[in-house]
Chains A and B, each alone.
Chain A
Amino acid sequence: MNAAGGTLRMIEQALAVLRPLHLQVRDDSHLHAGHAGARDGGGHYHLDIVSEQFAGRTAVARHRQVYAALGSLMGHSIHALAIQAWAPGERPVTASPSTTLSAKED
C-alpha cells in the first residue's frame, strides 16, 4: 500500500466516530502538486460524508465535527481538505463523482 492510500484509510478510520451513513474520501493531491502553499507537505483530500450527527447543525459546526474527528491528521498527513458534510436526506444525488478508493453506502 502506498503512502497516499494509507492516509485515505486513516481518514476513513478517524471519521468512523461520526458513524457515517455515506463516506467518500478522494485524494486530490495531484491537482495541487508543487504550489507554494503546499510546500509544508501533506495531501489534498476531498470528503463527502453523510451523518445523522450533522442534523440541525450549521456548516461551520459540521466542519468542526469533522476536524475534531480527524485530530492530528489535520495539518500533518492532510494539508487541505474540501468538505461536503450532509445530514441524512440532504445530499443531492448529483454530488461527487465516484472516483474514490472506497465508498460505503446504506
Chain B
Amino acid sequence: MDIRDVIQNQIGSHPVVLYMKGSADFPQCGFSANAVRLLRSCGVDQIHTVDVLQDPAIRQGIKEFSNWPTVPQLYVNGEFVGGSDIMTEMYQSGELAALLKPAH
C-alpha cells in the first residue's frame, strides 16, 4: 500500500491521531512529550499514537503528506491541526479542548 494510503487510513480510522517520536508513555522527544501532555490535559486518555521512529517510511511520508517538516503532528477527525507549538497556543486559548471535546 502506498504510504499516503497508510496515513489516510490511520487518520480516517481514529478521531485523534498523534504522529510522534516514541510512545505516549515513553516519548523520545520533548516536543512529543509536550503534545501528549496537552492531549491528556484536554481529557484524551486513549491517544492513537504513531511512533515515526519505528518506521522510516512513515517518518518521511507524514512530512510530505502534511507539508510539515517536523514531528509531532496532530490530526483530529482527519484534519491536520499542527505541531507542538500550535497545540500549546491552542491549549492556552481553550481552542484545543474545544476541538477535542467532540472527538473523544
A70-100 at interface with B (beta carbon < 8 Å): 74-75, 80-84
Partner of B82, one of A31, A32, A59, A67: A59
Instruction: Count A interface residues, CB 8 Å.
Output: 18
Q: How many residue pairs, one in A and one in B, have C-beta atoms under 8 Å apart?
A: 47
A37 near B: Cβ within 8 Å?
yes
- Complexed CA–CA distance, A81 and B85 (Å): 9
The interface of chain A, by Cβ under 8 A from chain B, is: 31-32, 35-38, 59-60, 63-64, 67, 74-75, 80-84
Partner of A36, one of B21, B70, B86: B21
Q: Which residue of A lies closest to B31 (CB)?
A: A80
Asked if A80 and B70 sit within 8 Å, CB to CB, the answer is yes
Contacts of B81 in A (CB 8 A): 60
Partner of B32, one of A37, A60, A75: A37
- Complexed CA–CA distance, A35 and B28 (Å): 7
Q: A35-B28, A35-B29 are in contact. Are A60 and B82 (CB under 8 A)?
A: yes
Known: A36-B29, A37-B53. 16 other contacts (CB 8 A): A35-B28, A37-B21, A37-B22, A59-B85, A59-B86, A60-B82, A63-B82, A63-B83, A63-B85, A64-B67, A64-B68, A67-B69, A74-B69, A80-B29, A82-B31, A82-B85
Asked if B53 and A82 sit within 8 Å, CB to CB, the answer is no
- Complexed CA–CA distance, A37 and B20 (Å): 10
Closest Cβ of chain B to A21, distance in Å, is: 20
B49 near A: Cβ within 8 Å?
no
- Complexed CA–CA distance, A59 and B91 (Å): 13
Q: Mark B50-61, 1 if CB is under 8 A from A, else 0.
A: 000100000000
